[in-house]
A = this chain, B = another copy of it.
Amino acid sequence: DFMSALEEVKPLFGVAEEELESRLRGGIIHYSPNIDSILDQGRTYVNQVRTHAATPLVSVLLHGPSGSGKTALAAKMALDSEFPYIKLVSPDDMIGYSEMQKVQQLDKVFRDAYKSPMSIIVIDSIELLFDWVPVGPRFSNSVLVALKALLSKQPPKDRRLLIFATTTERSVLSQLDLLRRFNASIPVPNVQTQQELAHILRHTGSFSDRDQGRAIAEIESQTGSKEIGLGIKDILMGIGTAKQHEDVADQFAWFISDAIASSKVI
- Chain B positions within 8 Å of A22 at CB level: 154, 157
Tell me if A142 and B153 are in contact (CB < 8 A).
no
Closest chain B residue to A53, Cβ basis: B240
Tell me if A55 and B236 are in contact (CB < 8 A).
yes
In this assembly, does A245 line the interface, its C-beta being within 8 Å of a C-beta of chain B? yes
Tell me if A91 and B241 are in contact (CB < 8 A).
no
- Chain B positions within 8 Å of A243 at CB level: 48, 51-52
Contact of A135 among B94, B137, B145, B146 (CB under 8 A): B137
In this assembly, does A266 line the interface, its C-beta being within 8 Å of a C-beta of chain B? yes
Docked complex Cα distance between A148 and B215 (Å)? 31
A residues 172-191 touching B (CB-CB < 8 Å) = 174-177, 179-180, 183-185
Closest chain B residue to A43, Cβ basis: B244
Tell me if B92 and A96 are in contact (CB < 8 A).
no
In this assembly, does A133 line the interface, its C-beta being within 8 Å of a C-beta of chain B? yes
Instruction: Give the interface segment out of A100-108, A115-123, A216-224.
Output: A100-108
Tell me if A146 and B95 are in contact (CB < 8 A).
yes
Contact of A145 among B58, B133, B153, B258 (CB under 8 A): B133
Closest chain B residue to A149, Cβ basis: B92
Docked complex Cα distance between A146 and B131 (Å)? 9
Tell me if B145 and A131 are in contact (CB < 8 A).
yes
Docked complex Cα distance between A137 and B201 (Å)? 43
In this assembly, does A54 line the interface, its C-beta being within 8 Å of a C-beta of chain B? yes
In this assembly, does A44 line the interface, its C-beta being within 8 Å of a C-beta of chain B? yes
In the complex, how many residues of chain A place their beta carbon closer than 8 angstroms to a beta carbon of chain B?
Answer: 70
Tell me if A240 and B48 are in contact (CB < 8 A).
yes
Docked complex Cα distance between A136 and B148 (Å)? 17
Asked whether A51 and B244 contact (CB < 8 A) given A152-B92, A180-B263, A265-B174, the answer is: yes
- Chain B positions within 8 Å of A149 at CB level: 91-92, 94-95, 128
Tell me if B266 and A174 are in contact (CB < 8 A).
yes
In this assembly, does A12 line the interface, its C-beta being within 8 Å of a C-beta of chain B? no
In this assembly, does A150 line the interface, its C-beta being within 8 Å of a C-beta of chain B? yes
- Smallest Cβ distance from A64 to chain B, in angstroms? 14
A residues 46-72 touching B (CB-CB < 8 Å) = 47-48, 51-52, 54-55, 58, 66
Listed from nearest, the 7 A-B pairs whose CB atoms lie closest are A55-B240, A92-B153, A92-B149, A52-B240, A96-B103, A91-B149, A131-B145
| Supplied contacts A92-B149, A128-B148, 8 more A-B pairs, CB within 8 Å | A52-B240, A55-B236, A58-B240, A96-B104, A125-B152, A135-B137, A175-B266, A184-B258
